[in-house]
Each structure stands twice: as structure tokens, then as C-alpha cells.
């Protein structure tokens, strides 16, 4: 291999710099794209207003408990779904629908508000913990003997 011409050294350095700039730009664009994809769509801006009434919070709590039960039952049946043709696609379909229901509930019940969330989740936590202890004791998802 013949020796490199020293007069072309600045051009080689410029080409290496351009090469690394293009590579870093490409990596940056991919990273930003993945980050945006993982974050999901932006939520609509929150409007301030009065907190929901206790009756509305009870309805929200009931809906939240139904979502919790649905998730819990799905987790218990997950092993049997592995025998299906495409379990990952079925799981993704169910998970997207469940997350959409949760987002709808969060928007409707303003669960992102600390005050409303604390009021809604306080009784739910106790019930959920009791259900978990009961399920652990009996070995069934809803705590009833099999």
C-alpha cells in the first residue's frame, strides 16, 4: 500500500468528521423516534374545575375495580393463552384495549388529579390488598375456593 499523500490529510479529516456527523445524526433521529413512540400520543390539556362528587367517585371506583378484576383474571388465564396460535398478538390486542379503557376512565374521573386520585384509590387499595391476600390464601384469582 503506497503511503498517503500528506497534502490530502485535511480532506480526509473533513470526510471522517462528515461521516461521524451523519452517523450521529442518524442515531439521534432513531433515538428521538423511539422515544416519541414509547411516550405515546399527547393527552389533551387538563381543564381545571370542581372535583367530582362522592357519587361520581363511587362510580369511578366501581369502574376502576372492574378494570382491576379484568386485569387480574387476564393474568391468571395468561398461561392457558400461550397454547393459542399467536399469544403475543392476542395479548397486545387485549392490552391496548385495556389501556384505552383505563385512559378513558382517567380522563372521565380525572384520576391524574392528586386529590381525586387519592379519594378514589384509598378505598380501592384496601379492597385490592384484601383480595390479594384472599387469592394468595385460596390460590384462585377472585379469592373464592375452587
Q: How confident is the model at residue 49 (pLDDT cuts 50, 70, 90)?
A: low
- Greater confidence, 60 or 30? 30
Report the range out of 13-17, 54-58, 127-131 with the highest average pLDDT: 13-17
Task: Compute CA distances 92 → 19, 76, 96, whole Å.
Answer: 39, 16, 6
E strands in the chain: none
Q: Give CA–CA dist 128/86, Å, rounded.
A: 31
Q: How confident is the model at residue 143 (pLDDT cuts 50, 70, 90)?
A: very low
pLDDT of residue 146: 46
In sign, the C-alpha dihedral spanning 117, 118, 119, 123 is positive
Does an H or E element contain 36, and which?
helix 9-39
- Per-residue pLDDT, averaged over 86-94, amounts to 82
Amino acid at each position: 500500500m503506497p503511503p498517503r499523500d500528506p497534502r490530502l490529510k485535511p480532506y480526509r479529516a473533513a470526510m471522517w468528521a462528515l461521516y461521524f456527523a451523519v452517523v450521529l445524526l442518524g442515531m439521534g433521529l432513531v433515538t428521538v423516534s423511539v422515544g416519541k413512540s414509547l411516550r405515546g400520543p399527547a393527552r389533551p390539556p387538563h381543564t381545571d374545575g370542581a372535583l367530582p362528587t362522592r357519587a361520581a367517585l363511587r362510580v369511578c371506583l366501581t369502574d376502576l375495580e372492574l378494570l382491576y378484576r379484568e386485569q387480574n383474571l387476564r393474568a391468571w388465564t395468561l398461561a392457558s393463552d400461550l397454547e393459542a396460535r399467536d399469544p403475543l398478538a392476542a395479548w397486545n390486542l387485549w392490552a391496548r384495549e385495556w389501556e384505552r379503557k383505563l385512559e378513558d376512565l382517567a380522563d372521565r374521573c380525572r384520576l391524574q388529579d392528586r386529590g381525586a386520585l387519592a379519594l378514589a384509590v384509598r378505598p380501592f387499595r384496601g379492597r385490592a390488598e384484601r383480595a390479594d391476600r384472599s387469592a394468595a390464601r385460596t390460590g384462585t384469582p377472585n379469592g373464592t375456593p375452587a
